[in-house]
Amino acid sequence: MTEPLVDRLPLAAIQMVSATTVQANLESAHRLILQAAAQGARLVVLPEFFCLMGQRDTDKVGVKEAPGEGPIQRFLAEIAREANVWLIGGTAPLASPEPRRIWNASLVYRPDGTLAARYDKVHLFGLRRGEEHFDESATIAPGRTPVVCDVKPANGARAWRVGLSVCYDVRFPEYYRALGTVDLIVVPSAFTYGTGQAHWEILLRARAIENQCYVLAPAQGGLHENGRRTWGHSLLIDPWGEVLACLPEGEGIVAGELSAARLAEVRGQLPALAHRTM
């Protein structure tokens, strides 16, 4: 027997190869979100910095927006309403009190276009490996607070508890424990090719297994205008750690659904969450 729709949540991760201009990326995201909605998704998640992969790290500071204002946030609200979906806008650059640093904010919109939640990326990526040098703290101010959001589609009474995170957060399991019990973890990302090749899937599967929840990880995936190559491999993973869908590289959609029955099955067979002692 097919599980009732109220106990399932069709969803989609958008994979992008974002360009160096905001407008081009908004147009690509618009097309892909409508495509995901047409395929039945009721929750759609964009990748980290879907709106801009600049020529320089400081470019994102140049397009920062005050919370609740600006073309990027207006786009997210309008497309959520147009597509009639819950939308997690990857991340957008919001103004912080420091002029040279932004908050890397993941914004959640309801199908009516209103803002449901905001999470500012807590862990900031740093890497010195060969010729690769990254220091997000130079242009991003860290968030402080884990955030969960209850997604409640119009087709039923069940709310799905979603834990918000971004990219580098996936390396810190204590962050996810602080979220409490959730049905889904989202990890919008822009993983580097080298770190992604080595660690991306294993980290995401570990977070799904230890939290006994679904993980949806939309990624940047390909060679960008600025010369950077991102790993891609956007994934949907079930609570047992099984990869349900993957898009290795290039623009596109990873689609699937959450199942309340599958969550209950995994947690019933191996009640690790109930066995925690700290």
DSSP code at position 200: I
Q: Is 210 a catalytic residue?
A: no
Pairwise CA distance, residues 15 & 247, whole Å: 8
Residue of 51, 149, 167, 213 marked catalytic:
167
Q: How do strand 43-45 and strand 86-88 relate by DSSP bridges? A: parallel
What kind and span of H or E run contains 37?
helix 22-38
| Residue 48 annotated to the active site | yes
Burial 172-184 (b: 16+ CB within 10 A, else e): eeebbeebeebbb
Geometric angle at alpha carbon 45, from 148 and 204, rounded to 5°: 70
Annotated active-site residue in 65, 121, 136, 257:
121
**Catalytic annotation present for 167:** yes
Closest CA to 49 of 96, 104, 117: 104
Question: Looking at 48, 65, 136, 257, which residue is catalytic?
Answer: 48
Helix and strand totals (H; E) in the chain: 8, 15
**Are the beta carbons of 207 and 177 closer than 8 angstroms?**
no
Instruction: Give dist(CA 158, CA 215) in Å, integer.
Output: 19
CA distance 39 to 32: 11
Q: What is the set of active-site residues? A: 48, 121, 167
